[in-house]
Amino acid sequence: MSGKLFAGALIKFAAGVVLVGLLVFLPAGSFAFFNGRLFMGILFVPMFIAGIVMMFKNPQLLKSRLDAKEKQSDQSLVVKLSGLMFLAGFIVAGLNYRFGWLVLPKAVSIAAAVVFLAAYALYAEVLRENTYLSRTIEVKENQKVIDTGLYAVVRHPMYSATLLLFLSMPLVLGSVYSFIIFLAYPFIIAKRIKGEEAFLEKELEGYREYKQKVKYRLIPFIW
């Protein structure tokens, strides 16, 4: 385990907690915002545990996950659009609580939290199956096509997991208006997938054949 890697991961984790906390609770005007506290818990507690596990079991995977600088210009736009979506969605959720615009029943938020945690588990399984994953589009040395497990069902199970994660977030926060904002994500991720597949066809041996074998990109029997 590298001390530098540990420190970098801890700093990014703490920064994420502070940033999301500010975006949610500042517009809400109160830490009494139950949905906000629920969201922070289900987001950052599993994230911390997953980080510790990767630190000891696969530090290279953790390092690649921390490297978020996208090299391709069109994909950089996708990252910026996602960031804008999160910014608007979290702020609106906080404002929704403060002004009581259209607050979802607590039962809906609890159910969404269960879906969120299930999606987190799905995401963890994807990381276990494919240690080549990074947050940027690239092909690593000696990388091979993964076509077993979840990758035998859809070509991008990581994005399938994030689709569930991100669409459940505003429901956990109890905001219909925030959910409408997060509906932009399927379109954002579709653009990323299109660019990623074009890149992988050129750079990763066997990917073109894999596309013929596994027909669905994101959602089985749909797309």
Q: Give tens-digit pLDDT for 80-101.
A: 899 999 999 999 999 999 999 9
- Report the CATH number that the domain containing residue 17 is assigned in CATH: 1.20.120.1630
Tell me, yes or no, whether 67 lies in a domain.
yes
- What band does 53 get if pLDDT is binned at 50, 70 and 90? confident
Tell me, yes or no, whether 56 lies in a domain.
yes
Tell me, yes or no, whether 204 lies in a domain.
yes
Tell me, yes or no, whether 218 lies in a domain.
no
Q: Are 197 and 211 in contact (CB under 8 A)?
A: yes
Coarse DSSP helix, strand, coil percentages of the chain, rounded to the nearest 5 percent: 75, 0, 25
Tell me, yes or no, whether 223 lies in a domain.
no
Tell me, yes or no, whether 10 lies in a domain.
yes
- For residue 31, the 8-state DSSP code is T
Top-confidence range, 32-36, 56-60, 77-81: 32-36
Tell me, yes or no, whether 221 lies in a domain.
no
What is residue 116's predicted lDDT score, i.e. its pLDDT?
97
pTM: 0.87
Structural domain boundaries, residue 77: 3-213
Q: How many structural domains comprise the chain?
A: 1
Tell me, yes or no, whether 220 lies in a domain.
no
